[in-house]
Structure 1
Amino acid sequence: MKILIIEDEPHNAQILSEIIVQLKPNSIILETLESVEQAVKYLSNHNNTPDLIFSDIQLADGLSFEIFSKIKIKCPIIFCTAYDQYTLQAFKTNGIEYILKPVKEEDIEAAFIKYDTLKESLKPDNEIVHLLKKTFSEKKNYKTSILVHYKESFIPIAVHKIAFFVVENEILYIQTLDTQRYPVFKTISEIESSIDPSLFFRINRQVLLNKNIIKEIQPYFNRKVIIITDKTITEQLIVSRLKVTEFMNWIEQS
């Protein structure tokens, strides 16, 4: 897959590139462009035809929509932006996903899944716009408790009493604040999408962590960080390198 990135912030472009390569190692990043002018010039050359475009919206010399009004493109666009007011305009272009910054690996992965699904049989543009607008506008009701199997019964565990979720030997477990542990017969991605993202953060592929147990954040090797808690926890709670910036921003949010 040939991918074009349009992003005027080098740090964001680098993070996005790393996530793309990690999720799609066989993909080719054709170029990273920083402005409307550069993108128009690049896409005017018919030899530079991407299969997919990742594009910021607010660029140094204007909005990226100016590019797509000047150049007729056939490939889908995944918009990555810090602003939510351009949703409808994005989907009136070839937009198939609208990701709010800071970019998350899970959001990019979901966007690739959507791209792969639509690639073989795209619906008419107006139907895609309608479906995506409906999906984007739906309000999320997050779970307040999780049912776990205990002895011969099911018992509810209040979400705010969960220290973290952890995958071990392909099984997902809940660890409560009082150090009890229960298996949950769901995937960590299913749990992540059903609980409040302001309370829980997926620090790596194995661990979904409750913000309220964090006492300190310390540097770790290879640009990772490790979390120190005030609970008796044996696991090393390490934030993966690609998630550190997003994690730090999440910590500061209310």
Structure 2
Amino acid sequence: MERILIIEDEQLAADKLKMLINKIDPTLEIVGVLGTVVDSIKWLSNHSADLIFLDINLADDISFKIFEQVDLDTPIIFTTAYDQYAIKAFKHNSLDYVLKPVTEEELRGSLAKYEKYKTRNHDYGNKPKSLFDEYLTPQVYKSRVLITYGGKSRSIETEDIAYLYSFEKGTYLTTHEGNTYLTDDTLETLEKVLDPKVFHRLNRKYLVNIKAITEIHRFSTRRLKVDLVPSPPFDAIVSAEKITDFKKWLNQ
């Protein structure tokens, strides 16, 4: 039986991940759920797993710190609400990464990659250390975004962007002055190249600048509503699974 370790500090996300894993493949044995870097180092120093699901932002530190203390040769599937930590390195050095909220379809794809990995009997060696090295390399973020209007194009400074949102098949940029433009980039692409200390992905439709946030309200028992300036075209809602990461971002 394959031994699965989950390293995730948000209980709701961990419970959902366990439920989906058991649903997709009941033969997989979940041997532990850990929420901190310290606990993960202790566990991995004395135990082993065949596959690790690893969140990046844990309760006490960033999970890359684990690689400083433990020499891992276990394949890793990253589960994270953030898409800015050297995604190319993730794809090259890890088995897969999945953005929260994790869906059954995405998880099936990740576990299929794990099955192919076992079949090919790849040797992952010290790839997690390579990933850690990539993390240590400073990332340069975009300072401008290209927009189009009236058949013309020009650049908007990122500091002038209040938020970006997707609508139907387009991605739109709204400035602090209230002007809205169409951009050729997707939210997924922009999330990777904009400074994560300034911009945060609230949900699948909104990527917002912290300076555009005026107030935060309890929208329902498990969701938050974020008030933005200028006023957005539709409500900016933070789902229950993203609330913890959202609060961490606000408290940086």
TM over 0.5, yes or no?
yes
User: 1:120 aligned to 94, 113, 116, which one?
Assistant: 116
What amino acid maps onto 1:120 in structure 2? K
Q: 1:35 corresponds to which residue?
A: none
Is it true that 1:240 corresponds to 2:239 in the alignment?
A: yes
Number of residue pairs the alignment of both structures matches: 224
Aligned residue runs from structure 1 range 170-209, under 5 A:
170-209=169-208
1:165 shift after superposition = 0.9
For residue 104 of structure 1, what is the amino acid of its counterpart?
A: A
- Consecutive unaligned residues of structure 2, counting only runs of 5 or more, are 86-96, 100-105
Higher alpha-carbon deviation: 233-242 or 198-207? 233-242
Partner of residue 65 from structure 1, selected from 18, 38, 44: 44
Distance, in Å, in 2 between the alignment partners of 1:4 and 1:245 is: 24
Seen in structure 2, the aligned counterparts of structure 1 residues 89 and 221 have a Cα distance that, compared at 3 Å, is same
Aligned residue in 2 for 1:16 = 14
Distance 1:105 1:16 in 2: 16
Counterpart residue type for residue 24 of structure 2? S
Return the offset for 1:18. 2.6
What is the aligned partner in structure 2 of residue 104 from structure 1?
A: 81
In structure 1, C-alpha distance between the alignment counterparts of 2:130 and 2:168, rounded to whole Å: 38
Distance (whole Å) between structure 2 residues aligned to residue 141 and residue 212 of structure 1: 21
Distance 2:3 2:173 in 1: 38
Identity of aligned residues (%): 17
Distance 1:184 1:59 in 2: 44
Structure 1 residue 243 displacement after superposition: 1.1
1:132 corresponds to which residue?
A: 131
CA-CA distance at 1:125 after TM superposition: 2.7
Provide Cα deviations, 1:13-56, integer angstroms capped at 9, x if missing partner.
3322336657x79435x7xxxxxxxxxxxxxxxxx754897654
| Residues 228 and 142 of structure 1, relative CA distance in 2, 3 Å threshold | same
In 2, distance between residues paired with 1:169 and 1:87? Answer: 41
**For residues 33-182 of structure 1, what are the structure 2 equivalents within 5 Å?**
49-50=28-29, 55-56=34-35, 57-59=37-39, 63-68=42-47, 71=48, 73=49, 75-80=50-55, 81=58, 82-83=60-61, 84-90=64-70, 92-96=72-76, 104=81, 109=98, 116-117=112-113, 119-121=115-117, 123-126=122-125, 128-129=127-128, 131-182=130-181
Contact 1:179 1:233 in 2 (8 A): no
Conservation of the 8 A alpha-carbon contact between 1:19 and 1:105: no
Match of 1:44 in 2: none
The answer for the alignment partner of 2:94 in structure 1 is: none
User: What CA RMSD, in Å, does the superposition of the two structures yield over aligned residues?
Assistant: 3.7
**1:3 touches 1:27 (CA, 8 Å); kept in 2?**
no
CA contact (8 A) 1:54 1:79 kept: no
Unaligned runs of 5+ in 1: 31-47
Would the aligned equivalents of 2:5 and 2:33 in 1 still touch at CA under 8 Å?
yes
How far did residue 169 of structure 1 move? 0.5
What TM-score, normalized to structure 2?
A: 0.71
TM-score (norm 1): 0.70
> Matches of 1:181 and 1:174 in 2, distance apart?
5
